Amino acid sequence: MSETWTFVCATAELLPGEMRTAFDEVTGASILVFNYGGDLYALEDQCSHEDFPLSSGEFDAAGGTIECVLHGARFDVRDGRALCAPAYEPVAKFPTRVEHGGVWTRDDRD
């Protein structure tokens, strides 16, 4: 588990409806951070169905979902749960925080 927070971007660079990727250098995880209606959420940038980056897909800012472009699996950005086949397993969810004018996240898995 990483105790080191990773800087994503300045808060002004992640407006509602936008997403940004970050890389946790301690654990090697690629992390996708979403601004969904002013709240920040972070998921592993990897579809649980196939090893493919979710950041290649579309963030539905109205519904709070991300769709994998490879096979059409959709995930809830708030908790990472799979919403439709072919994905059945959730995507890892990570903590976020806003501090010193920036957005931060970290891979907190054991």
pLDDT tens digit sequence for 35-45: 999 999 999 99
**HSE of 19 in the Cβ direction (CA atoms, 13 Å)?**
25
Host domain of residue 95: 6-105
* Banded pLDDT at 110 (limits 50, 70, 90): confident
- Residue 97 maps to a domain: yes
In a domain, 110, yes or no: no
The answer to the question of residue 84 being in a domain is yes
For the chain, how many structural domains are there in total?
1
Q: What is the pTM of this model?
A: 0.95
Q: Is residue 1 part of a domain?
A: no
Cα angle 33, 75, 78 (rounded to 5 degrees) comes to: 50
Q: What is the CATH number of the domain that holds 27?
A: 2.102.10.10
Retrieve residue 52's tokens: 């493919």
What whole-number distance in Å separates Cα of residue 55 and Cα of residue 10?
19
